[in-house]
Structure 1
Amino acid sequence: MHKQSLALKFSFVFIVLSLAVSLISACWQLLVQKQTSSRLLVLEIGAGLLLVILPALLSK
Structure 2
Amino acid sequence: MSCPICGEPTDRKYRPFCSRRCADRDLGRWLTGSYAIPSEDPEDLEKAQEEADAAQRKPH
Q: TM-score, normalised by structure 1?
A: 0.31
| Bigger radius of gyration | 2
Greater relative contact order, per chain length (Cα 8 Å cut-off, separation 6+) = 1
- Which structure features the higher share of helix residues? 1
TM-score (norm 2): 0.31
